[in-house]
Every structure is written in structure tokens, then in C-alpha cells.
Chains A and B, each alone.
Chain A
């Protein structure tokens, strides 16, 4: 857990630093998505600080990629729809409509989360990172570059979700084995069949991110 996590209210309970599909889904629940309702984490739900004034639109503020966005949404609006329909932040895709495929993955307080099963109002006060926040065509992230190198994309519709999931995975698991990777990215689906490239890309990115960290550390020392 990074230092900044400790400042966040409703800090999720510590979980193992590796991601399983079960853990991934559980993480979604803890973050206040639909899945949490009385099923997985009733306690976390009860502690939610979101004031629900619905069914009409309520003003909310979302901290996305370090910027505060003020908007009005109905309490039922998912974070995914708030990003795509209100803010035109569209790297996260809506594909399965129900927390299965991972195309809508964003990072909330350092954890990969399905934004289609997270309500926008519940994402208030949390640090939301989308792909646009850490990778742009002008300054592509190491994972983005590795996806290009290993042709880990075809139609590209699942790709942003995979890159975001890969970042959250590598942030928690900087020295992954192939087996770690297969479990860690098990919460995302691709239809074109780009998994072979994704495996290679994420392993390459892990190496590069690690050596970049070492280089940075050396420079500071």
C-alpha cells in the first residue's frame, strides 16, 4: 500500500498484493459497486459517506487523474457512464454491462476496479486514475509501448482495460511470474485473441518499469 492510500477515507481492507478473479470482484464490491449491496461487504457499504439525494441528479466531485471534476449525476449512474457520457473520458469502455469483462477498468486508490459496477457517487473522495491519466500518445507509458512492441492489441476495444489492469497489477506485483500474470489479468477478456501478445508485453513492461525505478533511485542517490 502506498503512503497516499492511508489518507483516503473508507480505505479498503488490506488484500494480498496479487490479484485473483475473486479478489478482483471483491475489490469492486469493497469500492462500493453494485456487487457490494448486501452481498460481499455489507460493512463497507454501511460506512459509505456518500449522501444520496436521488433519484434526481446530485452534484458530485470526482478526483480523476489529479483533477477535480464537478458534475451532476443521478445516484444510479455508474462511474463508467459518468466518465464516458458526462466527462468524455472514454478510454474505459462499457462492454459487458455487468462487471465481467474488465474493459471499463480504472484504478481507484491504487486498486483495479470495474467502473461499470462502481457508482459515481461512491467514487467521490477517492483517487481515480484512468488510462488517459498515465499514458498519452505523446508520453506513452511503458505498458502502452510494450503493447505496441508485442502487438498485444487488435481491434483495441479491450486494450485500455488491459493496460490499466496491467498497471495496477504491476504496481502491486513488480516481479511477476507468468503464473502471477495469468491470474492477475484474469479479470479482463479479449475477443480478438490478443492474450499471447499481452503476456509478453506485461512481462516486458515489468522489466522496464523496474529498471526505470532503479535508474531513478540511482539518480536520486
Chain B
């Protein structure tokens, strides 16, 4: 009978796990921290050529002439390509106009400078913060009305109106965007920096007319992606074309930092005027938002559907959203696309309402938890976060923060996300010598994917993590989804679990006769195949594998998002709450992070160590965007003023305060299966920090980042006193 039953893929019970759920150091950690890890921006095969891109300096212009003869004369230049010829219209600053390849990087850069382009400058819009100036570049989506907001506002005991804004920020991946491409006859090899090892070959192939089957993609490590590195992009295509024109030699193009910040993706802005009301008990009764945002030329960006965020079930709502088309680089997915913005606007409005009602915002968030889709989760998370923040002791009424110049405040932010596993295939192979390999066309963004794959395989096969040879980062391995939307851990853990269960079942069937039993009576534990309940009858792992003779076992496993929900290995749908604790110097306007407390749904946690790191990292990104990051564009000249890391500011090691992570690892959460943690903790921080500042200084600083000048301006607007 056991031979005909469906294999048992379920995660072992919590108490029985030997590897999963125990912290394990990342497998590539020593390689990375000794500089031995080779990124595709590090590699330099013999004969490699350096590619470079000429970018358009104007926000909107038509190319009237382009002369590449100067570039072609530079010694070492192997190819020059015009991307935007005469008559072509360039729609944003930094856009690619021409490309070159040369034997040295210096020659390539000289060649770019030697290309003469004449432009006819055209009208542009590069700022969207004042929607009154957007003119016909603003496209309103239809109004959505639910219930009777007008009546509800009339009857409300309290109503607050406020303006809020969060600017465009950029991904600023430390390894810039780019890659290397080489041709060998009609075959192409591509070494990109990508979140999409299995899919990016097809994307390049469509652009250069080569079938995906003839494109080999390889990437061992990626230096940051955050949602911006899925496609091959024009620079990948240009690397391929330059290589082709240079006899197939590898051509490497990685964008310089300026170009990377201008065109390689960003997070859309969000601005809004929000009106929210409550009854005398603080129950929210009505919501009205007029929001706008830009995601570049296509407008895009935010969706009206996200408002009010998390507190979805406000009974009376009027929602308007306008997309503003600007002549700036296009938005890309940015770690929880649009959720940070929606969280910031919504939670700011709720906090301001609470301040108007002179109520504790914690009570208001709690009291209205029934307006969320997961009342119990938010209630328990709010309480847990408040406990960790010692909220009752440290919170005070807005602005009631003592007579000294430094004011302390607390603020709350909430978030939600999906995060179920993506489509993933895994091939697990057990060799007769006992070695094990698992292959997936996946990638490790630094999230620890490599390590959790090995942990799942080790758990299933009763082996130490070090015995698993994890092979990822190559398009010859079974396809696995792109790493976006917190879907990787669920996808690869499930496919690896299934493949290794299948392989183990084959091994048990092969060795059962020699142990005088049937496969269903066997299990793999501590490098041995043992008869359940009779440890005297066993084989070492190696002895068991020798019984395979010359035949290796190679089995596949697949996570299919359609069937995954009923299989229960992974799931999506998470809640999260963060509380920020800040001190603001009202004389200088400088905000100092004291603590950021993060409480998140986590499902079954495979590796607590790297899971915690994900949350630390996401919280730090929130500190960056709440206090430092802003793409600043000038409408007079049509330029982004800070496409560099000196003036496009990120937080440093001294700027982040303390971060306290609460992973709710419990049997109840564990039952839900594996859930992605990449985006969820990146969501609530902006709102929490903004609210904490308002609580500290007694007045809302409407726009992020909360820079010193904005703090001082906000204080001045209310009369200079905190």
C-alpha cells in the first residue's frame, strides 16, 4: 500500500525538526566577507571589452543630429551604436542615446564623450508635488464612492483634514545595473545582475532575436535588486549588440552611478489631501482621499484601490487618484510596490485624527481593527508592539513632550502583504557516493535563499546542511520564479521539499530489502537510514547510497502557485505593525532614531537568523526613506539635482538607532506554512517614523523625508513652539 500513496510532503512537526527553524549562518557568508564572492560586475574574461552608454542630459528633447565619427577614431574602440537617431524623441533625462565598446574603460568613456549630439529641447515636467502645475500631464482615474461619505462627515464627532507627501526615491542598488554578454556563433552567454535568472534570457532573446534556448544565463551573486532588476533592459541589449559587432567578444556594461540613479528604476511618489472622521468614541466613519503620484512618463505608480490602507472597511469612502506623467526615469517595483506610500498616507491621517480627538493613537488603531481584513492579527500585533515599545509609559499627547529643546515621540505604522510562493522547480540528485545536489534556476538576493534551500534538503534527507550542494544562478537548472513580491522563500522551499522527498523515497525503496523491511518503515535521520523505532537496524547514509550501484537518483519537485494553497507548504497574506521612537531637536530640526520596533507575521520560519536580517534591513530602508532619501528634480532646468550618493542620501551606521524585531514563531503561525518576508517589514516604517515625529514636536511634518529644514518649517508654521 505505501508505494501507491501520495508522498508526504508536509513539513515535519515543529518538535521533530533538526535543521529547519534553527538559525544557520548563510552559506556564502565567508565568500562574501572575504571578497572571494564574484559578482558579474567583477568578472573579466580574456578579451573582454568595456561598454558604456551615452545618456541624454535633457528631460525632454528631440535628437536633431548625432555624429559618432570622433568616437570611432579613438584607439581601442570596437563598436559604436546609435540608439536614438535624428528625429527620435527622448522622454527623460539619462535616457540612452548611444553606446560604445572599447578595449579599456577609459577608451569607452572617452568615446562616449566624443559623440556629438544636437538636441532640440522640448517642454518638460519633472516635478509633481504641486499638482496645480501638472496641467494636462495629470490624468484622473474615476472617483470611487462607497456608502455616503457626505452624510458621514456631517454627522461625525471629529473630522481631520491633512496634506501628506512622500517623494520619488530610487533603488540605488550598490551593484549597479548591467551585465556582460558574449556570442559564440548563434549562441549567447549572458552574465547579468538580475533577480530573474530563469526568465531574463528570454527577455534578452526577444530583443536580439535569439531563442531563449540559445541563451545561457549565469549569475552567482547579485549586489542588490529590491525590485529593479527583472528585465534585460536596453543596456543588456546594447551589450549584446556591441558584442556581436565586436566579433562576439564579451562586452560588459554596468551603468555609472549617475545613470543608474536616473533611469534604472524608482519608487513612485505619493501626495494627497486626506479627510477622515470618527464618531465620539473614535470609531472611524468616513474617509476621503485625493491623491496623486508619478511613476515617470507613464504616470502610473499608486493605485486608488489601496486607500484607505489596511483599514479597508471604513464604511463611507470617497477616493480619487490622479496619475501625473513626468519626464523622469520610469518607476519599477520597489520592495512592496506602493504599500509604503499607502501606509504613510493612511497612518498619518489616522494619527492626526487621533491627535485632534486627544486620543491615544494606539487606542484608535486598536479600536478600528475590525475595519481591517485581519482583526485578530492586527490587534495582537499592535498590543505586542506597544508592549515592546513600553507605549503606555513612553507615549504622551501630541506636543506634550517637556520643556527642553529635544522632544521624544512615538508613532505607529501598519502594513499588509501577500507573499505566497512563486512557481519553482527543483531537481534533487542523490549520487551513489552519497553526495547530494539540488538545482534550481533561482537566485540569492542576499536574503539567504541559498541557505534555506540547503536547510530544507538537509532536513528532508537527515543530513547536515554542509552535505548539500546547492546549485542556483544558472539558466540550465530547472526554472524557478523571479525574486519579487516576497515569493522566493515559499517557492524554492516547497519545490526543494518535494524534490528531496521524492528522491528520498526512491532511496528508501532501494535499500529497504537489505534492511529486511518496507520503505514506509524507514526514515532518514542523522546521516543514517534507520528502521523507525528500531535503531539497531540501520545503514549509514553512504552505505545506503552505495546500494544504488552506478545509478544516481534524480527527482524533480515543483511548487505550482495554483495548487500550493491546498498543499499547505507555503502561504501568503501577512500583517505587520511597527512603532518608531524618535527624538527631535527642535532647535536644529534634526531627527534621531531611538528605536524601531517591528512585529510581523512570519509563518513557518526556516532560518530565524536570516529572517531577522530581512526585517532589520527593511527597517533600515524605512529609516532611509523616512529621514534621508529624496530624488530632487528642478523644474527650471529639467534635471535631477542629486543623481549621486553624496546628495541622494542613505542612512549610515550611526543613523539607525536600535531595531527590535519580534518574529512571532508559534505553532499556530507555523501551521500556515512558509511566508515571504522581503516586503512586509519594509512597509510600516515610513508611517511609524512620520507619526513619531508629529507626536514629538506637536505638529505634522507633511512630507517625507523628515529633514531638518522641514521640521523647522513645520514648527515655524505653528508658531515656533513644540
Contacts and interface: CB of A to CB of B under 8 A. Distances in A.
Contact of B35 (A21, A132, A188, A195): A132
Interface in B162-199: 172-176
Interface string A22-41: 00000000000000000000
Contacts of B26: 148, 151, 153
B155 interface: no
A140 B446 contact: no
A191 B225 CA distance: 10
Contacts of A91: 34-36
Interface string A125-143: 0000011100111001101
B258 interface: yes
Nearest to A194: B617
Nearest to A21: B652
Given A135-B35, A149-B25, A157 B174 contact: yes
A84 B645 contact: no
Interface in A162-221: 163, 181-183, 185-186, 188-199
B700 interface: no
Contacts of A97: 256-258, 644
B42 A160 contact: no
A191 B616 contact: no
A95 B648 CA distance: 13
A195 B33 contact: no
Interface residues of B, number: 60
Contacts of B258: 97
A195 B223 contact: no
A178 B612 CA distance: 21
A96 B256 CA distance: 8
A193 B619 contact: yes
Nearest to A183: B654
Contacts of B654: 182-183, 186
A192 B224 contact: yes
Contacts of A88: 44
A147 B257 contact: no
A74 interface: yes
Contacts of B617: 154, 192-194
Contact of B174 (A21, A103, A135, A136): A103
B388 interface: no
Contacts of A95: 174-176, 257, 645
Interface string B637-656: 00000001110001111101
A137 B174 contact: no
Interface in B130-172: 172
Interface in B251-284: 256-258
Contacts of A141: 34
A220 B31 CA distance: 32
B609 interface: yes
A198 B616 CA distance: 12
B34 A158 contact: no
B445 interface: yes
Contacts of B30: 137, 140, 144-145, 148
A18 to B, nearest CB: 13
A135 B32 contact: no
Nearest to A199: B653
A11 interface: no
A193 B620 contact: yes
Contacts of B233: none
Interface in B659-690: 659
A98 B653 contact: no
Given A160-B33, A163-B33, A93 B652 contact: no
A48 to B, nearest CB: 21
Given A97-B644, A100-B645, A155-B446, A196 B35 contact: no
B37 interface: yes
A101 interface: yes
Nearest to B34: A135
Contact of B653 (A145, A148, A163, A185): A185
Contact of A153 (B446, B619, B651, B652): B446
B645 A155 contact: no
A90 B38 contact: yes
B172 to A, nearest CB: 6
Interface in A59-82: 74, 76-77, 81
B494 interface: no
A136 to B, nearest CB: 6
B223 A157 contact: yes
Nearest to B27: A148
B196 to A, nearest CB: 15
B32 A96 contact: no
A132 B616 CA distance: 28
B646 A98 contact: yes
A102 to B, nearest CB: 9
A12 interface: no
A97 B174 CA distance: 11
B23 to A, nearest CB: 9
B223 A96 contact: no
A30 to B, nearest CB: 20
Contacts of B646: 96, 98, 100
Interface string A83-116: 0110010111101111011010000000000000
A159 interface: yes
Contact of A148 (B29, B221, B222, B645): B29
A131 B104 contact: no
Nearest to A144: B33
A197 B653 contact: no
B106 A74 contact: yes
Interface in B28-53: 28-39, 41-42, 44, 50
B222 A155 contact: yes
Contacts of B224: 155, 157, 191-192
Contact of B34 (A136, A152, A192): A136
Interface in B446-480: 446-448
21 contacts: A90-B35, A93-B41, A95-B176, A97-B256, A97-B644, A130-B35, A143-B33, A151-B613, A153-B32, A153-B33, A156-B28, A156-B446, A160-B35, A182-B653, A185-B652, A192-B224, A192-B617, A193-B621, A195-B620, A195-B652, A195-B656
What 5 A-B pairs have minimum CB-CB distances, sorted nearest first? Answer: A91-B35, A193-B620, A157-B223, A193-B617, A154-B446
Interface of B: 25-26, 28-39, 41-42, 44, 50, 104-106, 172-176, 221-226, 256-258, 445-448, 609-610, 612-613, 616-621, 624, 644-646, 650-654, 656, 659
Interface of A: 21, 74, 76-77, 81, 84-85, 88, 90-93, 95-98, 100-101, 103, 130-132, 135-137, 140-141, 143-145, 147-149, 151-160, 163, 181-183, 185-186, 188-199
